[in-house]
Amino acid sequence: MTKEELIERAKEARKLSYSPYSNFAVGAALLCKDGEVYVGANIENSSYPLCMCAERNALYNAYMHGKKKEDFVAMALCAASDDPCSPCGACRQVLSEIFPSSAPIYMSNLKGQVEETTIKELLPYAFSADDLK
Ligand code: THU
């Protein structure tokens, strides 16, 4: 699967968002080594802190299908943002633990702008299980 195709899957997943409070729909698509793609969209709630981001829903969707960190190849996300949509802090923390540190993360928007990064770049000095020792 190409980078463009993965971004397209994130754009499609965005349509599944439930975001009546922010009106900011986000889609994410996670590519695995076996070619499977797991998608997520943000799902909000009237009790605002319960809102769940697209990235975490995609990761948890993959986990619920038996996939693990070592199976992941790349993630794409897409929103109607001015600049390519960037993962929030909570998602960065989750990605730092269950997404490969150097795997590409394609941040995009509906204007077709794409920026490529990694979780290592997005969250240097991440808190991790090692810190609990
Ligand atoms: N959101 C995501 O799903 N992913 C991001 O990368 C940024 C923010 C969601 C959370 C909330 O439902 C809405 O976008 C506005 O913050």
Kindly list the protein residues whose Cβ atom lies closer than 6 A to any atom of ligand 1: 19, 22, 24, 26, 42, 44, 51, 53-55, 77, 85, 87-88, 91
**Which residue has a Cα nearest atom 1 of ligand 1?**
53
pLDDT tens profile 116-128 = 999 999 999 999 9
For residue range 14-57, list pLDDT tens digits in order.
999 999 999 999 999 999 999 999 999 999 999 999 999 999 99
- Mean residue pLDDT of the chain comes to 98
Distance 133 CA to ligand 1 centre (A): 32
- Interacting residues of 115 by C-beta distance below 8 A, sequence separation 6+: 83, 84, 106, 107, 108
pTM of the model as a whole: 0.96
Q: What CATH architecture does domain 3-132 belong to?
A: 3-Layer(aba) Sandwich (3.40)
pLDDT for the residue numbered 63: 98
Please name every residue paired with 40 in a beta bridge, in sequence order, or none if there are none. 28
| Cβ contact 90:49 at 8 Å | no
pLDDT at 59: 98
